[in-house]
Amino acid sequence: MNTYIALLRGINVGGHKKIEMADLKRIMGKLGFSDVVTYIQSGNIVFKDLSENIDDLQIKIKTAIKKHFGFDVPVLIITHKDLSEILNNNPFAKRLEREEIEDKKMYFMLLYDQPDPIAVAELSKVSFDPEEFIITKNVIYLFAAIGYGKTKLHNNFFEKKLKCQTTTRNLRTLNKLLELSI
């Protein structure tokens, strides 16, 4: 049995694409997934399944949400190992440990596809001081110095510039998902 973490993009934000976590958990159970746990209202699901095909699982969940709720929701599935690597490779980790930067301002934009390399190179040349970010093949590490609610460096900004879809989670959420997926 494999443990997976499903991240849904853009649900329960500003009253749009409302999904109750109890309903989502029930749907996941009907799909045959076991040990389903949801975390907060922003679409974080930990579950187990025999399948090893993440693409099929993403399609299965996305299709079920569309059928049940009537709208499209991008679904990104990662493993405990993937999430552990993302957290362990955080280029801001040392500064967080030394409390030079606030952990509540640390964000991770997980990429659905690899970003356009030319766009990455161009964007990496530009400074958005005091905000800082580092783009890798599967995640954008963002220190939102002025806060995520005020930064211009949000999902839509990076999606437009890098030509790939993202979903954002804060450090606290990713640490909790790592713990739940053990």
The rounded distance, in Å, linking the Cα atoms of 95 and 100 is 5
Do 168 and 107 touch, CB atoms closer than 8 A? yes
Contacts 24+ apart (CB under 8 A), 116-122: 116/162, 116/163, 116/164, 119/161, 119/162, 119/163, 120/162
Low-confidence ranges of the chain (pLDDT < 70): 14
3-state helix, strand, coil in the chain (%, to 5): 40, 25, 35
Q: What is the per-residue pLDDT across 2-49, written as a single tens digit (0 to 9) for each?
A: 999 999 997 877 677 889 999 999 999 999 999 999 999 888 999 999
Domains parsed from the chain with CATH numbers: 2-79 (3.30.70.1280), 89-171 (3.30.70)
